[in-house]
Amino acid sequence: MTKDEVSIIGKLVKDMYGTTIGNVLGTLTHIDGRIQTVGIDCGSEGLKQIPYEQLVLQGDVVIYIPGWRIDAQKILREKRLTLSRLKALMDILSENDAMQSDADVIHDTYKTKLMELDEAESKVRDELSTRLEELDSQENVVKVMLFDAKVQFKSEEITDSTFETIQKHCNNLLERLSHERVEINNVQRRIEELSLESIELTQPKKEMIQESAISYLGSSGHTITEHANILPEPPIENSESPIQAFTEEQDEHEDSPESSESNCMSRTECNN
């Protein structure tokens, strides 16, 4: 067991957006001593067990990273790398056709990897959609409570200070839900972009097929134009896109989400 693993006991646990979850009560370990899950005392909600890899120690606070974010980061990183290699392979072939036979095996390997990633991506898409539905449901409940508090305040059932307290906490929670929704939407768009890029790299464009057909019909006794065999280039990404910034951040830190989570924490704490 490492020093960090021991030091999390008793620490306050918050999510990436600053919401307090509870305190670390204890851990469950594998036979070799590695932590498997962490027990978090959530007060009236009881004990929650969270996989250790979803927790990051930052100073005196343990940050909880939701599973959808870890899964999405993994898919985005692996798919972008696979597409980058596939693109590089096609660039090599465009420069030297003699290497076609040698590249076929590698090309098939990358296409197989993309198929595997597509299956995993489908599960991530479902996770993201489910989480968005949960956020919508929570947001509706908060808005109803806030509106009801306004009614109680106007009818003089609660004091001004009580209403201000309710309003403050409701607004903070709505802001936290909004931050997570924006991040999920960005991840969904990035996944969709990579899916379109994957299609363009592995399948001929419809326009190329149409051009080939026109060329064939317009040339008696001639074969279909060779343009049908030209694979399309991937779209150029917008360097200012917040989605790209999200994935570039992961490339810089690879499997350690600690740095990216600190940005989310600091933003929420400043707002609070």
Q: What confidence tens digit (pLDDT) does each residue in 77-94 have?
A: 999 998 888 888 888 777
Neighbours of 265 (CB within 10 A): 19
Q: How far is CA 168 from CA 92, 129, 180, in A?
A: 59, 28, 19
The bridge status of strand 20-29 relative to strand 55-58 is unpaired
Q: How far is CA 68 from CA 41, 77, 128, in A?
A: 22, 14, 7
Nearest to 70 by CA among 84, 53, 87: 53
Neighbours of 247 (CB within 10 A): 22
| C-alpha to C-alpha distance for 75 and 191, rounded to whole angstroms | 8
Instruction: Return the bridge partners of 14, or none.
Output: 20, 63
| Burial label, 124 (beta-carbon count in 10 A; 0-12, 13-18, 19+) | buried
Q: What confidence tens digit (pLDDT) does each residue in 99-147 have?
A: 666 667 777 788 888 888 888 899 999 999 999 999 999 999 999 999 9
Reading the block at residue 17, the tokens are: 């957006």
Backbone angles phi, psi at 230, to 5 degrees: -85, 125
Q: pTM of the full predicted structure?
A: 0.65
| Average pLDDT over every residue of 45-63 | 90
pLDDT at position 238, please? 46
- In this predicted structure, the answer to whether residue 180 has a pLDDT above a threshold of 60 is yes
State the first-to-last Cα distance of the chain, in angstroms, to the nearest integer. Answer: 35
Query: Rounded to the nearest 10 degrees, how much is the dihedral formed by the CA atoms of 111, 112, 118, 120?
Result: -150
- In this predicted structure, the answer to whether residue 239 has a pLDDT above a threshold of 60 is no
| Average pLDDT over every residue of 33-39 | 88
| Average pLDDT over every residue of 44-66 | 89
**92-111 per-residue burial string, b: 16 or more CB within 10 A, e: under 16:** ebeeeeeeeeeeeeebeebe
pLDDT at position 131, please? 95
Reading the block at residue 33, the tokens are: 């001593």
